[in-house]
Copies of this chain bind each other. A is one copy, B any other.
Amino acid sequence: MTATRFDVIGIGNAIVDVITHADDDFLKVEGLEKGAMTIVEAKQLIALYDRIKPTVECSGGSAANTIAGLASLGGRGAFIGKVRDDHLGDIFRHDIRATGVTFDTPPATTGPQTATSLILVSPDAQRTMQTFLGACVGLGSDDIDEDAITAAEVTYLEGYLWDPPEAKKACIKAAEIAHAAGREVSLSLSDPLCVDRHRADFLDLARNRIDILFANEEEIKSLYQVDDFDQALQVVQEHSRVAALTRGEKGSVIVLGDEIYVVNADPVDCVVDTTGAGDAFAAGFLFGLTNGANLAAAARIGNVAAAEVISKLGARPMSRSST
């Protein structure tokens, strides 16, 4: 196999997060499902924005967070995702490139604005997301850079990409290119409601097209429509190659056929915001795997990366070192 230029190339929705605090009463009054990511129209987002507290804006997007996290650990990352040629698109491009990630997807020059996700963080550190997909719906097969996919040890897909209509075709194409080049393909299930929307596709992917599956407890239970984690564990053992399952404060469980590794969560003094915990785990785990760590060691790196991100507001590690 030829040498790689990237440890991981991620494909995902390119989103700028708009983050604020909100309590349970506010979520109830607004009719928002706590803990979920809901796709909304621009006008719904604008109406909600008018009613929320002051915000902080920073780059987000699930797979983009993972690749930025991988790069801040020292990994070699690339990202494919669609922004518009607008101010938010400039912010997204700056921030991901500034971590050292290669990001060359051309921005859309017409159509809706760069995607934003309004993230409401509850006092118990849970997050509720309202996402306007905007320019992300323009991501298509033409945006899949064959050379970059071929040059990456792992191609990482986020489940959220099954929401915009053309992006899943792009993902399938990327997975085929990666496998044809002898590389690995990974999928994050993203969100239990996202699994609900695309269960048949995700089951086919998990069985037949994916080498490394990421899911949290709710997502894997949703995928197999079972009530408890142990049932899900039994199915996933027969089902997938590597499954990396995250369980919040219970840590993570890595499954490879008969091998099961249970890794405790890293202690965190004060959980501020769980946004990006799964993304950060995937960053640490994939950084470990692509840099020679075994499954258990990779999971420990994932847990450390997740612990860092949930100790602060926002979904990406905030680098303290300069260029």
Q: Are B323 and A26 in contact (CB under 8 A)?
A: yes
CB distance from A147 to the nearest CB of B (A): 25
What does the 1/0 interface line of A305-323 toward B look like (CB < 8 Å)? Answer: 0000000011010111111
Q: Are A55 and B91 in contact (CB under 8 A)?
A: yes
Known: A56-B56, A88-B87, A314-B56. A94 touches B50 (CB 8 A): yes
Q: Are B23 and A98 in contact (CB under 8 A)?
A: no
Query: What chain B residues lie within 8 Å of A143 (beta carbons)?
Result: none
- Residue A263 interfacial (CB < 8 Å): no
CB distance from A25 to the nearest CB of B (A): 6
- Residue A240 interfacial (CB < 8 Å): no
Known: A50-B94, A57-B58, A95-B54. A313 touches B318 (CB 8 A): yes
Known: A58-B57, A91-B57, A318-B21. A98 touches B323 (CB 8 A): no
Instruction: Name the one of B58, B68, B320 contacting A21, with C-beta atoms under 8 angstroms.
Output: B320
- Residue A262 interfacial (CB < 8 Å): no
Q: CA A316 – CA B21 in complex, angstroms?
A: 14
Q: CA A38 – CA B153 in complex, angstroms?
A: 45
Is the contact region of chain A dominated by helix, strand, or loop, or is it mixed? Answer: loop
CB distance from A139 to the nearest CB of B (A): 22
Query: What chain B residues lie within 8 Å of A131 (beta carbons)?
Result: none
CB distance from A101 to the nearest CB of B (A): 10
Q: Are A54 and B22 in contact (CB under 8 A)?
A: no
Instruction: Name the one of B56, B96, B321 contacting A57, with C-beta atoms under 8 angstroms.
Output: B56
- Residue A43 interfacial (CB < 8 Å): no
Q: CA A316 – CA B313 in complex, angstroms?
A: 14
Query: What chain B residues lie within 8 Å of A320 (beta carbons)?
Result: 21, 123
Instruction: Name the one of B51, B95, B123, B322 contacting A23, with C-beta atoms under 8 angstroms.
Output: B322
Query: What chain B residues lie within 8 Å of A59 (beta carbons)?
Result: 54
Instruction: Name the one of B23, B26, B86, B99 contacting A54, with C-beta atoms under 8 angstroms.
Output: B99
Q: CA A21 – CA B318 in complex, angstroms?
A: 8
Nearest first, the 5 A-B pairs at minimum CB distance are A26-B322, A54-B95, A57-B57, A23-B322, A22-B322
User: Could you list some 9 contacts between A and B, CB below 8 A?
Assistant: A22-B322, A26-B322, A50-B94, A54-B95, A54-B316, A56-B57, A56-B314, A57-B91, A313-B318
